[in-house]
Structure 1
Amino acid sequence: MSSESDPRFRRSREAIVNAARELLLLHGPAAVTHNQIAEHAGIGRATVYRHWPRTDQLLAEAMATVPLPFFENAASPYREWLTRELTTIAGQLDQDDVRAVTSTLVNTALWDAAMDTRREGFASVLSERLTAALGEAARHGELSLRGDATAAAAMTIGPIYYRATIERKPADATLIERCVDAAGEWRTL
């Protein structure tokens, strides 16, 4: 019997992910450590290391089980809504732990099919929500899109990710404003 088909293996793995997710939601990314997870799950630290030798991979796994709150419930005025959403994302990406997990997810996805599936899932959810919101803003006459909504979505979030991961600097209000403007021409109703 392979270790992955062993019920004890599956139970301990599930307990680790559940503990990591709970710690992430309760205390943020910094709380997701091997020691804290072992204590929270009531299992040995060596068991946590056996499943996930690196904390960043464990954090990425835990994040994959947490619903994405971004770009939900788009509302008029859409420009203000988009500014708030991008500011929230920028604030998250300004945290070292979140930046590390995001980078790990993207990098590991190049070689790991399971991680690439998670990356694609995150990207699809964010892109679909943002694309739908920008399309809604256009239908309500608040936005004249530059190109299609999918390209506009990439133009709004891409620079924030670049600033956080490549430059390792916070996205300030000026950059966020430019990202919002990249979607198209906004009209005040």
Structure 2
Amino acid sequence: MTTESDPRFHRSAEAILAAARELLIGEGPAAVTHAQVAARAGVGRATVYRHWPRVDQLLAEAMATVPMPFFDAPTQPVRDWLHGELTAIARQLELHDVRAVTTTLANSALWDPGMDSRRGQFAGVLSERLAQALDDAVAAGEVRLRIAARSAAALAIGPIYYRSTIEHESVDSDFIDAAIDSLGTWRDRG
């Protein structure tokens, strides 16, 4: 019986992934280490390494199974809500492990169809949620977008991702305001 056809192989992989997901949700990305996952899953550290040789791969896999909170529940005014959501993303991308996972996911997607599928799902959820919120803001007269809502979503997220992952710089409130303002003309908040 080959390792991958052995039911124990699949059970240990499921236990490891469940443990990684629990640690990610409960304690954040920094808690997802081979040692902590092994202890939580009740398996040896070597077993974790056998399934996921690199912790960033395990973290990416765990992140793909966790419900994504970003852009999930828009509120009015959309501009203020969007500022809060982009700030939350920027703060997450300041964490080394999150930055490593997002760049690993993007890089791995070039060569691995499974990772590309996860990347596409992740990006699709973010884009659709944000595009819908922007469409709702247009309908409410809060903003007149310069481009289609889905493209505006990419324009809002892209600079924050670039600043955080490529430049390894912090994203401040003024930067987020500039990204939001680039989307279109917003109704005066005063």
Alignment of 1:108-187 (within 5 A): 108-187=108-187
Partner residue in 2 for 1:104:
104
**Percent identical across equivalent pairs?**
62
1:53-101 CA-partner distances (Å, limit 9, x unpaired): 0011011111111111000111111110000000000000011110000
Give the distance between the partners of 1:41 and 1:183, measured in 2 at CA: 45
Question: Is 2:9 the counterpart of 1:9?
Answer: yes
1:76 is the counterpart of 2:45: no
Residue 52 of structure 1: how far off its partner (Å): 0.5
Q: TM-score, normalised by structure 1?
A: 0.97
Aligned to 2:185, the other structure's residue is in SS state strand
CA separation in 2, counterparts of 1:146 and 1:171? 23
Question: Quick one: distance in 2 between partners of 1:123 and 1:4?
Answer: 30
State the shift of 1:188 in Å.
3.4
CA distance in 1, matches of 2:124, 2:181: 22
Q: Distance in 1 between matches of 2:130 and 2:60?
A: 22
TM-score by length of 2: 0.97
2:99 is matched by which residue type in structure 1? Answer: R
Structure 2 distance, partners of 1:73, 1:101, is 24
Note the C-alpha offset of 1:29: 0.8
CA distance in 1, matches of 2:34, 2:105: 19
**Structure 1: 4+ residue segments shifted above 3 A:** none
Give per-residue Cα distances to partners, 1:93-144, cap 9 Å, x unaligned.
0111100000000001111110110000000000000000000000000010
Q: Helix, strand or coil: the match of 2:147?
A: coil
1:48 deviation in Å? 0.3
Q: 1:41-60 alignment to 2 at 5 Å?
A: 41-60=41-60
2: CA distance, partners of 1:61 / 1:2: 23
For these two proteins, the number of residue pairs brought into alignment is: 189
Q: CA RMSD in A?
A: 1.0
What displacement does 1:2 show? 4.0
Structure 1, unpaired ranges of 5+: none
**Aligned residue in 1 for 2:95:** 95
Name the SS of the counterpart of 1:97 in structure 2. Answer: helix
Distance in 1 between residues matched to 2:5 and 2:113, nearest whole Å? 20
CA distance in 2, matches of 1:56, 1:72: 25
